[in-house]
Amino acid sequence: MNKILCPVDDCEPTKVAARLAGTLAAATGADLTLLAVNEMIGGYMRRDASALLWSPSQLSALLDEAKAAATSTGAEKIETASIESRDVARAISQYAEQNGYDHIVVGSGGKGAVKRMVLGSVSADVVNRAPCPVTVAR
């Protein structure tokens, strides 16, 4: 394991995933990237009308919190990144492939069956689309 990607958001499972990714990075000496995908919402008919889920300050805060969680495990080579996309799972998988990651650690939101059916699951989609092994942290 040389490069680990850990997607993060503003949910509690992100901290669990960041700590697990940090533990793996510390144990293997791998580089760790914490990635926030700022989801583009609205404006489906007009591209310029879309908005982003998080403001720049919210994005910075959630990446800082995830980095603190990963650092608490002893991981040292940690960087943060953010991208924008309408499809979060696809963006994560493409980012991993384009940047040569060999492992992804994602948090599981723990949604109930009905919510999962209606809203989908980013972690399940990443598992299905990823170009490398994926660990789902619960």
pLDDT at 48: 57
Q: How far apart are CA 3 and CA 49, in angstroms?
A: 36
Q: Which CATH number fits domain 3-137: 3.40.1180.10, 3.40.50.2300, 3.30.70.100, 3.40.50.620?
A: 3.40.50.620
- d(Cα 68, Cα 23) in Å, to the nearest integer? 13
Over residues 19-66, the pLDDT tens digits come to 999 999 999 999 999 999 998 887 665 555 578 889 999 999 999 999
94-117: per-residue pLDDT in tens?
Answer: 999 999 999 999 998 655 444 344
What does the pLDDT look like over 65-97, one tens digit per residue? 999 999 999 999 999 999 999 899 999 999 999
Whole-angstrom Cα distance, residue 36 to residue 107? 13
Q: What six digits make up the tokens of 137?
A: 């942290």
Spatial contact of 90 and 129, defined as CB atoms under 8 Å apart: yes
pTM, entire model: 0.88
Neighbours of 73 (CB within 10 A): 17
pLDDT given at position 46: 55
The phi-psi region of residue 91 (left if phi > 0; otherwise alpha if psi is between -120 and 50; otherwise beta) is alpha
